[in-house]
Structure 1
């Protein structure tokens, strides 16, 4: 290694030139880096994912071409006249706004309790009008019958005046054709009377004939009345008519109407209660919150969560801007567009906030540790180049930047300074101890720490690449990018920065500037005494230290068994920052974030319109037995804790049978079709199921396509949609939906439970799997590498084993702390096992390697430990302080998962440092005794 280090220092200018050219080539990939906000990147191949894709593509209300925004409306009383009018005015503003309007579906684009109440008022007014007309027709019919009787009994009476009298006293418009029918009936009755045809049978016929005449006269009016009644059932008034109606009512009339509409005893009430919070009491006339659902169409087809098209993002942003600016009500918008926008903004804001703060903290530590402007500038230059190499590699390898990669950014900043500190501090030691010139001192420094840096890089890369065992593609990419970054760190701080430092120090010294600087920990004082504590403990009571470490590790390992795994959309949503963070200067100051608050409100108070599970049935779906099993499964679903219920207690479950029931209640022809096919009267067709589906598609095509998939005239799939209670754990949801799928399973069909909630749980399970696999793979791989390396270089594989033990201790301490703080494995903490091994080996290796070098030259083991801990330990302390500070900056991040990762990684670094300077020395003392490796017992390492 010393020969290599000499070559680097002797050819510093060549090294600089090669590294600059290489950096320029790699940097060309930086502009090619794309951003990714899609949550699909966190999902792996699974049958449930394929099933959800099938549902989205083949059922009309899947996410194929529509998405919904849920607007939370709050006021002191959202059911009073003023707020209901304000809701309708807001809906009108949405429909008239060009940005929003171009995304709205054609029918029922906005739905709210205000629409239901206003429509109910219009329907009641219209129903009252129809009842008045019906009474008027009945009265007119009775007057016509009386006139006929009167004219029959008085043959000399004139027909025309009698008819005109009826016409004058009715609002029904009688025509000349009606008079002709009326006069003919009078003539017929008079002739029958003259012929004495008064037998009982003849009288009955005449009476029947009289009724027929009056019905014929009023036939058109009755037909129009019937048509108006049918139209009343399908009444869909415009927003303007709804507004006009509500404004015309008094406050008390609105209150009475609201109580009736939300009484919970009709289909209309069920629709209205879907917009009400869980705590609303059906029939009451006041509450403080309600929902407005806006349905939008995506021209580009389906999209993954977090990857909404630009027009959806713009439209939902406009919905927020269009909220009333007075005190009429408060509006909070949540939807895929808002989520996509905030995920993108949070990435940008997080980089702009965390990056400068991390650099500021690192700079502060570097100023304290280096106390030299040139070394500080070289350190910062190295950090920039490492990031350039990393992002350039991402561009060349077509790896998109997403939220978890923010962690890589902070990680590489910390590790870069770590590498730089070890090289610089060893260089300073060499210059202080023997007064050697810069080029020779750097050769000694690289020869001394070079082996450790190569080992550290190798083992850390192994730790990161252990993520290749993950079933999640994004973790595999994170592992690859982190490995590339750490290799770049070795190249930059092992080649370029040392070469630059040699050239610049020699240049400055030729000009009379002293470049000899002290190394941290070598000059006595409190830092020296602190670092020497490990050596003292290891000399006097090594076994006590080891036993204490084992006990603490056992407790941590036990706690680790209780760590959960979590994957939720809310993990990716930023919390709205504190005011002091918003008050930071631009561009560091983050924006305002509302999606997280909206999700919390929806989860707590409402039936989430977007949190559903689907039971997909494929195969012989026209078999009556299939429908029977699905209906039984629905009954079971209604009783499960994972199934959400509306304010009236009704389960939020939709399937073909419930849709058939609703359509049959409104359409007589389909009701006849369903009744004919339902031979046992249980509401489920027992025969002619194909004909029932055909008629359902004819009468209500949209409702049918929501639960029955038809392709080329063949029925291929059914689905049941279960709105799940967001307060129930995803694991419970997945289990219970699986039970429902099992209930519906049968001969001729395949059934599977799917949905975002279920896929999230699968991802969470894979996060836990990632953590476990990376732990095993990384630990075993690092153990093998170190054992082989030390066997080849030092003739003792056991030193590699000893070096890895503190890393295992650190891992249990970290996992125990996660359990204690209730931090789950998520999209970034899932990497913590591989990361801990990588960082822990970094610290342990430097101590073991330096101890091995000092052991060959020191007079006693105690002296070797003292030199190790005050020399390398000083660099480790500086590195730990710098890196931990860099990660601690994440505590002010606006993303919760970054905050938890920052905390746990900072603690990981602290634990790794403590294990390397307080536990490892005791292990090394025991190792030296057992292996009989005292001072001078082995050849010194190179350098």
Structure 2
């Protein structure tokens, strides 16, 4: 085929895909059998939904199988067992009063709560503590229990209580009260109460969780206290529960909003009730099949999976609108039902196949990620994309043929059967704007588009990467905005947000990541252990806080020094165990540990060495101005330099490792998706149309779309996160969805007419109308993710919606200019057919 039209040479190279004839035969001859088979498969997948794994939410889902995260989990488990042996699991209560939390009535309520917690046997509370207890001890140093402390406060006058508060403040024994504390006025607005539980080492985390939730109920039952209002309880179990609840609340708000908006635009696009019912049924089937696949594959529902379903809905909506709109075009030309669907399927099935395979490529490219959640996203999304093709490429056309055959000859009215974008409509007059621009200045349009893509790519290279537990929680203002929603749509109260607010605003403390070197080595009880720990503290790297060339840190050495300062006999034993005189014991190490664990303050030693003496840890203070990457690298350097088996861990280190993996995953999946998509498009068009160059032309708008999206992330200050890491690879699939439909229709029209301008005009109005309906429906559907409570899902929803919009604009505005530029180039350098066949761009 030359630039001006088809020729005998190239017509011989054009082939039909093997799938289309098979699909055509079944959907036009036995449509109801096809529908029946798909309904049976839907029942099969419905059964599979029950096998979906447990929900996963929050940061933990992205840290599975990381060495640093595994070390952190093991360290916390082993040291929590130490603490449980001495009364370990704990919770913190933030109690507030706008007038004065240190007033006598509030102090009495607090001590009443402590007494009830301590005296409930099933609650296993080993001890409680608070500023209220410390004030009571100033009044009566012999008041050992919460009940005795209550009586001490009850007997005291207001003046005596004020004096006790001032004495406790002067001696540093008052305890944690808010920054607005005034000693002269003996007032503050918030105080912290600590609750320690005596949980056996053999107990699992669920036991501790039940105790913490029961604590909330007990305090809430006390007159004057309301959990979630003037009493906020913070504990690990409650945090885990709230993370899962956040995912549930997001689904409750997002899914109904998406359904309403999608239904509105589907009504506009389909306009016929039966077509609408068929399209909605296909969408529901797509979701059911995908959920069922997750169940059979035992893949849990997580934050990442929230984004999969809008993506599949987007592609399904696109396929459905294309099928119905193209079918209506053929019917408007006078074709019978079966013939109209045969022509529609013949033209669209190849495009659907190309879109499906290239989109699957963009999803499975995420299998190169080292993050389990990202790989699971790729698997589920790829499977869902195949289901979408089958349902919308086979079931929906068969259902349409069956319904129209049933309706024909019966008095069942039809509504709005005119195709979108017909020449007489407003849309039909607007859509050819890209064709008009391509007529006037195609080189300018293409050059400007490539400039935008390049500028976006340059900006996008500087996009930040973010990962932390707090990133999964919205700010309180956003939650408050949704509290007015009716009934089940209203979100839960999130303790974590209130705890953050209390810590930051009332106590001047922000959650910061910890840096810990975890030593898991039997030699912890050997003679070299303490020397190695001491060496790891000397001459720390720049990101670690230091005094006199020693790191600001906490370790078993500090416990030994503290005990030696209080116990002369122990001090003498430590000195005798130090053969070099440098203050660090190098013999009798196991006996020193035993002395520490046998002391009344065994919990101090249990914080840094496990009871079996097989593991230890060093906790470092970090420079608040240091970069997280530098801190992580320095901590890893300390661990690597130790002669004991050690690993750097802690929240900060784990977060940085995930950040590094997010960046690598995003770049790797982008290149894999682009290469696979590019090769497949070129080979597909070479096979189907006899011209590989059509595949290359398809890639131009996609490159611009990806570049523009990357630049938008930088402009809007949206960081790469575990949730949106696949966005660049996915944007390739989104771009292909639009450009392939446009290009495939153009090729068909160009072959029939031999005129580029006429083919572009028909494509812009016909396929452009379907693309427009799909774009509006998809953008609004994906845009509902911006309503999510989880900020990371909000950002991903915005990026997906923008990616669809950019892909649509690129196909409508940029692709016509690209085609015209290629056409002119092809005409200018037209060569004899024998030479032509030897040139790559001619193939």
Q: TM-score, normalised by structure 2?
A: 0.87
Answer whether contact 2:685 2:694 (CA < 8 A) is retained.
yes
Does the C-alpha gap of structure 1 residues 73 and 4 become closer, same or farther in structure 2, counting only changes over 3 Å?
same
Partner residue in 1 for 2:497:
596
Within 5 Å, which residues of 2 pair with 1:538-557?
Answer: 538-557=438-457
Partner residue in 1 for 2:614:
716
1:901 and 2:796 are equivalent in the alignment: yes
Within 5 Å, which residues of 2 pair with 1:472-483?
Answer: 472-483=371-382
Match of 1:660 among 550, 560, 582: 560
1:69 and 2:91 are equivalent in the alignment: yes
Moved more, 64-73 or 435-444: 64-73
Partner residue in 2 for 1:332:
232
Does the C-alpha gap of structure 1 residues 788 and 600 become closer, same or farther in structure 2, counting only changes over 3 Å?
farther
Q: Deviations over 1:121-140 (max 9, x none)?
A: 433xx5xxxxxxxxxxxxxx
In 1, the alpha carbon distance for the partners of 2:762 and 2:161 equals 86
SS at match of 2:195: strand
SS at match of 1:795: coil
SS at match of 1:510: coil
Within 5 Å, which residues of 2 pair with 1:775-854?
Answer: 775-854=670-749
Does the C-alpha gap of structure 1 residues 63 and 694 become closer, same or farther in structure 2, counting only changes over 3 Å?
closer
Partner residue in 1 for 2:11:
none
1:27 and 2:49 are equivalent in the alignment: no
Answer whether contact 1:61 1:706 (CA < 8 A) is retained.
no
SS at match of 1:761: helix
Partner residue in 1 for 2:115:
92
Answer whether contact 1:5 1:443 (CA < 8 A) is retained.
no
Match of 2:393 among 494, 503, 510: 494
In 1, the alpha carbon distance for the partners of 2:100 and 2:551 equals 26
Moved more, 598-607 or 387-396: 598-607
Displacement after TM superposition at 1:424 (Å): 0.7
Partner residue in 1 for 2:36:
17
Partner residue in 2 for 1:617:
519
Match of 1:289 among 190, 196, 215: 190
In 2, the alpha carbon distance for the partners of 1:460 and 1:906 equals 16
Answer whether contact 2:91 2:212 (CA < 8 A) is retained.
no
Q: Deviations over 1:308-349 (max 9, x none)?
A: 976257336536734763699922222222222222222322
Does the C-alpha gap of structure 1 residues 278 and 836 become closer, same or farther in structure 2, counting only changes over 3 Å?
farther
Partner residue in 2 for 1:208:
none
Displacement after TM superposition at 1:382 (Å): 0.9
SS at match of 1:753: strand
The answer for unaligned runs of 5 or more in structure 2 is 1-16, 837-843
Partner residue in 2 for 1:135:
none
Partner residue in 1 for 2:130:
112
Q: Deviations over 1:253-291 (max 9, x none)?
A: 4444444444477xxx4xx65x35578799995443332
Does the C-alpha gap of structure 1 residues 416 and 302 become closer, same or farther in structure 2, counting only changes over 3 Å?
farther
In 2, the alpha carbon distance for the partners of 1:63 and 1:383 equals 52
Moved more, 362-371 or 564-573: 564-573
SS at match of 2:408: helix
Does the C-alpha gap of structure 1 residues 575 and 297 become closer, same or farther in structure 2, counting only changes over 3 Å?
farther
Q: Deviations over 1:786-811 (max 9, x none)?
A: 11111111222221121022112111
1:240 and 2:139 are equivalent in the alignment: no
Displacement after TM superposition at 1:916 (Å): 1.0
Displacement after TM superposition at 1:780 (Å): 0.6
Does the C-alpha gap of structure 1 residues 630 and 879 become closer, same or farther in structure 2, counting only changes over 3 Å?
same
The answer for unaligned runs of 5 or more in structure 1 is 127-235, 645-649, 939-943
Answer whether contact 1:811 1:836 (CA < 8 A) is retained.
yes
Displacement after TM superposition at 1:633 (Å): 4.8
Does the C-alpha gap of structure 1 residues 709 and 63 become closer, same or farther in structure 2, counting only changes over 3 Å?
closer
Partner residue in 2 for 1:737:
635
Partner residue in 2 for 1:315:
214
Partner residue in 2 for 1:48:
68
Moved more, 681-690 or 497-506: 681-690
Q: Deviations over 1:120-179 (max 9, x none)?
A: 5433xx5xxxxxxxxxxxxxxxxxxxxxxxxxxxxxxxxxxxxxxxxxxxxxxxxxxxxx
Answer whether contact 2:482 2:490 (CA < 8 A) is retained.
yes
Displacement after TM superposition at 1:244 (Å): 2.0
In 2, the alpha carbon distance for the partners of 1:308 and 1:883 equals 45
**CA-atom RMSD, angstroms?**
3.5
Answer whether contact 2:303 2:793 (CA < 8 A) is retained.
no
Within 5 Å, which residues of 2 pair with 1:122-271?
Answer: 122-123=140-141, 237-263=144-170, 269=173
Displacement after TM superposition at 1:768 (Å): 1.8
Moved more, 53-62 or 858-867: 53-62
SS at match of 1:707: coil
SS at match of 2:487: coil
Count of paired positions: 801
